[in-house]
Amino acid sequence: MKKDNILLLTDVLPCKNYSGGILTLQLVKFLMEEKVNISCVCIKEKSVKEVLDEEIIQQLDYIILDKPHETGEDSRVKRRNYEIKIEKILNKILEFIKNKNITKIWCPIQGEVLVRVLEKIADITGIPYIVQIWDPIEWILDEKNYTKIKKDLIVGKFENLLVNAEYCFTASKSMTEIYKEKYNKNSIEIYTSVELPRLQELSQNKAKKEFVIALSGQIYAVTEVEKLLEALNRLEWKYKDKKIIFRYFGNTDIEILNREKYEKGNIELKGFVPQDVLMKENSKTNLLYCPYFFSKNATYRKISEQSFPSKIVTYIPTKVPMLIHAPEYSSIYKFFNGKNAAYILTSRKVEDIKNEIIKAIEDTEKNRQIITNNAIELYKENFLPDKVKANFLKGLNIEYKPTKKLNILQVNYVDLPGRRFSGYDIQQKINRDTIHSSNQIVTYKTSEDRRVYKYYKKASQQELEYILLDYESNKLSVHSNLSLTSPMLKQSDLLNNADVVHYHMIHNAKLSLYSMIELCAKKPSIMTIHDPWTFTGRCVHYDKCSKWMNGCYRCPDITTMFPFKEDNCHSMWKLKQYVYKNIDIDIVVATEYMLDLVKTSPLTKHFKHVHLIPFGVDLKYFSNRIDKKKSREQLNINNKGIVLFFREQEVFKGTEYIVEALKELAVDEEITLLTCGQKGLLKELKNKYEIVELGNIDNEKMLYAYNACDIFLMPSTGESFGLMAVEAMACEKPVVVFNNTALPSVTFAPECGVLVENKNSQKLKEAIIHLIKNKEDRIRRGKLGRKLAEEHYDINICNEKLIKLYEEVYNREHENIKIDNSKEINYSDNNAKLIVDKLNTLTKSITNKGSKEYKTLIYKSKRLVLKNIKINYANINVQKIIDEYNDKLYKISEQKIISVIKTNNGKNAKDLIINIKNIPFYIKQKNPRVHIIRAIKLFKEDPFLFKHAVAYKFRNHPIMLKVLKVIYKPFKKIYY
C-alpha cells in the first residue's frame, strides 16, 4: 500500500507549551513512529511563541505563514485587506501542497482563517481531509467579537466541513456522540496521552503538616477558581493541624491569584514547567484540582458539554486524588460520574466547596488509594498512547500494529567519519529496514541527515567548549569533567523522547563522567567500549603498563593521547570506579580482547550484561569484485610487482616499524608502497620504493586500494578492533599484525592473519618477505580471510544483533540504583575549596567582572585556599561543584553571551565566532584566516577528528586543504 503524504494544517506548531500544540506534537510523533510522511503549514499569530521539540521540528518539513487578524469588524477596507491576505496564504499553501505531493490533509480547526483556507483547498484540490476539534468554534468567534451574521456564516462553513470530512477527531466522548448524530458518523475522540511513569519517577515525599491543592495549565474557569480560593479563605487556609496551600503551575499574572487578601505563602505560583517535571511536582501534592465552566452563557455551556480538560491526562498518572469541579452536564462530569475515580463537586457555592475540601483532607488513606486506582484503570482504557494512537491512525486510514516501536538515540562526537562504528550506520539501518526509529546526536555534524542532531545550537557554544577543553587539559590536568554537552544532553528532547540510549566514545563526545550517573538513570542505556580508555586513569592504549589493574598510581608517561601536565591519573581512575558502580548499563565490545579487559578490570568486572558484537562490514561492497589491474590503473600504480598497502599514521598504527622493516628489505620483486591517512612519513624510503600516498580517502578509493595491493600491513601498537584489517580480509588480502592488540583474534592469527612479535621490525620484515615470495600462501590466507569475514563480520548480522539488544534492554527490568540527588555540597572540604578556586579562575578568564554571567558563575568564598595540594577528582563534593558549574554555564550559553564571554587572550569570543554550519570548518571564502584559527583549535583538542573533518569538509577545496596540511606537521611538533 502506497503511503500518504499528510499535511498538518494548523495555527500552532507541534510544541510543548500550548495545549493544542502539545496534542499535535504527540500525534505527529505517532506518525513519525509509523514512518508516515508528514509536513506542516502553520498559519499563526506573531504573538504565539512555541517551545519546540528539537527532535520533531528538525525532521518536520514545515512553513510558517502570518495569520491575519481575525475580527468581527465591518470596515470594508479592513475586510478587503483581510481577503487579500487569505488569498496570498492560500496560494502559498497550494504551492506547498504541490511540491510535497500531499495526498491527505489533517486540520485542527480553530477560528475563521483555518475554516476559510481548508474550505478553499478542499474545493480546489479535492484532497480528502480530516478535521480535529478541540473546542466549539463559537468560543473563539465570541472572543473575537464576531457579529451574529458573520458568526452564523463561519459556523455554517465549519459545519459543512465537518459533514464532508473523511473523519472527525473530537475532544471528548460527549462531543463524539453529538457529532456522530449531527455531522459525521466517522467521529472519534482523541485525547492527549502520556505513558504511565515508573514509580521511581514520582515523588513519595508529601509534607505531613501541609495539605497542598495543585492546579496546572491555563485557567479558563476563572469564576470556579475564585470560588475555591474563597472557600480556602473561609477555612483560614488551615484545617486542624494542617496548613492548606494552593499551588499553581501556569501563568503567574492571573489577577485572582495575586490579590492582597490572600496571605503570603498560601498561594504558590510556580509558572510553566515541562510536562515530566510537572507530573513529578504534582505527585508531591495532596489534591489535584480540575475546574470547568458553570456558565449559563450558551457558548460556555457548549464548551463544558463538549470539550475536555487536557490536564486530566497529567493528573491521573501521579496517583494523587483529583477534585473535579464541574456541572452535571459537562463532559468531564459524565466521564467520571459513577466511577469512584475522583472527588466530584457539582456546586459553585463556597460552603459546598469548603465541605468537599474537608472531606478530601479527612478521607482515609485506604479510600484515597481506591480512588486513585480506579482513576488509573480509567486512564488505561482511554489515555494510554497505544489507545490514542490506534484511534488516530484509524481516522487517517493507516494500518496500525500495536507493536512497541523503539526510539533509539545514538550518542557520539561525529557521524560520518567512522560511520560503521559511530552509530551512524546502525541508525540508517534502523530507520530504513525496521519498525523502530533512531536518531543521533553529535558534537560535529558532517552529514545532511535530518536525524543527526548537533549539541551546539550556537557558534558561541562551540567556542566556549574549546575554552573549557583547553582549561581542563592545561590547568586542571583531567578530562571528561568540564562539559557543555552533558547538560545539553540532560535537557535534550532527544534524550527525553528516547526509549534506549546507545553511547559511543563518551570521552570524545566531551561528556562529563559524573553526568553519566544521571544520564543512565534517565533511560535504559548501552555503552560500546571502543578502546581501553574505559579501564585506565587517562590513556587510550596502555601498551605494556599494568597499572590500570590497581589504580593507575604514578603514571609512567602522561604525554600520550589525552596528555596531562600533572599526574591526576589515580583520581581519574577512582572517579571512573565511582561512576561505573552507580550505573546499570549494558556493555558492548567488538572483540574477545576487549571482553577479557571488561571481565578483568576492577572498574568493570561487576557489570552483569556484557555483549560481544563484532563490528561488521558490507561484504557485498568490500570484496575482490574489482580486479587488480583495473584498481592499479585507477590509482596510477605500476601493474607489475608487489604492492604493500598500509595506514600511514604517527601513532598506534606501527608506521615507524614498517619504515624500519622496509629500509632493510631486500627482494627481487618491484615494490610499491600504497598508503592512506597521513602523508610525508615515508621520506626515508622514497629513493628505494615507488610511493603512492592517497591521504584521507573515501570508501570507493579504499576499495580500489585493497584490490590493488598484494599484502595489507597493520602492525598496530594500540588497537581494540581494527576495521581496516577486516575490510582487507573481505577483499581476500593477507593481513600482517603485531601480537599485542585485538588484531590477532580479529584476524584469526596465525592461521589467517600473519602474527609478528610486537614492535619487532626484524620479524615484520621476515613476514613481509615470506608473503612476497609465497604467492600460494598469500592466496590461501586471502581466501580464508574472506571466508572468516563472511562467518563473523557481516554487517547485516552485526546490525541484527544490535537491534535485538536494543529490544532486550528496553524490555528488561533495570536495577533501581539510588541516585544521590542531593544538591548539598560541603564547601569546607579541602577538595571543594581547591576546585572552587580553579573554577573562579576560569570564570574570571571568560567573563567580564561584574556582569550578570560573572555573578552567576563566581563562587563567593573567603575561605583560605590551600596551595600545592592536588585535587581528588573522585571526591563527591568536587564532582557536584563541577556538575553545578557545567549546568550554570550551559544555561548562560543558551542566552546572549557573545558580548561577555571572552577567549583566553582576553578578546571577546565574538571576534572569533562566525556564522557556521555543521562543524567549525564550514567554508566562507571571504575570511579563510578565521577558519584556519578554528581548525587549529580543533586540532589541539582532538587531532583524530581534525584529520577526518578536514578531509571531508575541504574535499572540494584543494587550496584550503593544502594550506592546512602545510601547517599541520610543524604545529603538531610545537604542540605535542
pLDDT at 914: 30
Angstrom distance (rounded) from CA 60 to CA 47: 22
Is the predicted pLDDT of residue 541 greater than 90, yes or no? no
Angstrom distance (rounded) from CA 683 to CA 671: 16
Percent with pLDDT over 90 in the chain: 67
Confidence of residue 781 (pLDDT cuts 50, 70, 90): very high
The DSSP secondary structure of 427-463, one letter per residue, reads HHHHHHHSSSEEEEEESB--S--TTEEES-SSHHHHH
C-alpha cell at 706: 585493497
Mean pLDDT of the chain: 88
Task: Give residue-wise pLDDT tens across range 93-137.
Answer: 999 999 999 999 999 998 999 999 999 999 999 999 999 999 999
Is the predicted pLDDT of residue 410 greater than 90, yes or no? yes
Strands 242-249 and 238-239: antiparallel
Dihedral, 153, 159, 160, 162 alpha carbons, nearest 10? 150
**pTM score, two decimals?**
0.84
SS3 for 210?
Answer: strand
pLDDT at 934: 59
Is the predicted pLDDT of residue 37 greater than 60, yes or no? yes
Confidence of residue 716 (pLDDT cuts 50, 70, 90): very high
Confidence of residue 458 (pLDDT cuts 50, 70, 90): confident
Residue of higher predicted confidence among 105 and 720: 105
Confidence of residue 969 (pLDDT cuts 50, 70, 90): low
Helix-helix angle 111-125:148-164, to 10 degrees: 40
Task: Give residue-wise pLDDT tens across range 263-306.
Answer: 667 899 888 887 778 888 999 999 999 999 998 889 989 999 99
Is the predicted pLDDT of residue 664 greater than 70, yes or no? yes
Range in 45-59, 220-234, 920-934 with the lowest mean pLDDT: 920-934
Confidence of residue 908 (pLDDT cuts 50, 70, 90): very low
pLDDT at 862: 59
Q: How far is CA 156 from the centre of its chain?
A: 46
Angstrom distance (rounded) from CA 674 to CA 790: 26
Average pLDDT, integer, range 481-493 = 95
Q: Is the peptide bond before 750 cis (omega within 30 degrees of 0)?
A: yes
Three-state DSSP string of 88-133:
HHHHHHHHHHHHCCCCEEEEECCHHHHHHHHHHHHHHHCCCEEEEC
Average pLDDT, integer, range 425-454 = 95
Confidence of residue 933 (pLDDT cuts 50, 70, 90): low
